[in-house]
Amino acid sequence: MKLWKVCVLVLLSGLGASTAVQAAPKATELKFVLYYPQVPPYMYQDENTEKVVGLVPEVLQDFFNQQNIRVQYVADNRTRAEHRLYRGEVDAILLAKEWTQYPEQLLFSEPLLEHQDYLFARQPMAAQGQLADWVKGKAICTRQYYIYEALTPFFNSNEAARVDSPSELTQLNMLLNGRCDYAFMNEHVANWLLHHHFPDKQLYRSANGFSPVGLTVAFHPRWKLQLAAFNQYLREQQQQGTIAQWLKFYVTKS
């Protein structure tokens, strides 16, 4: 074979290898916090498969795949995870802006969905009334470290007693055992727990919800370039009803 033909073959093979490398860029890694205690139906670890499942992983999976982002779930508690996000040790967590200590240091997505807190009780509650009418002189089961804007005035004035627990599951157990008069809980989490852990128990909730919150993803600022595309993706999922479908699926899933 002539020398010029050899050179052409070598050059073409080199270009082919370069093109192959460019066609399959290395995936970017994103560390997403999985809260402990876990928060179904939003995000939790399946007991049998140990896979992280729930509304949030289902909704976000397609976007991360489109962006060639590989998600690594990192287990941590709520308070420590927030400070790790400020330091850039993790990339994203499920967190509402009003719950953060330094919101100006983070980027927040548009809400995936909204939820409200409700009072849950062992006995039927009056259809009409104000929060003050229900909670004065009562003990209320709450999550440890959580700030409840609707209840804080009553706790500060000692008109109601706060009974903390480490998880929502413990809240309902304490309520059923008579340790408190009410449990104050996120509607979606309460529905999941009642369906999966207390299917034979009858609990009642207040006619009105309190403190509506949009559940967002909080990102470290280094993800600023991806935020607009992420928000557009969320809007499409909401318009298509995908988020509502996944919520219903995980609340009622056996």
CA distance 100 to 185: 19
Domains of the chain, CATH where assigned: 27-112+216-252 (3.40.190.10), 116-213 (3.40.190.10)
For the entire predicted model, the pTM comes to: 0.81
Tens of pLDDT, residue by residue over 120-176, are 999 999 888 889 999 999 999 999 888 899 999 999 999 999 999 999 999 999 999
What mean pLDDT, rounded, does the chain reach?
89
Confidence of residue 65 (pLDDT cuts 50, 70, 90): very high
Tens of pLDDT, residue by residue over 187-243, are 999 999 999 999 999 999 999 999 898 999 999 999 999 999 999 999 999 999 999
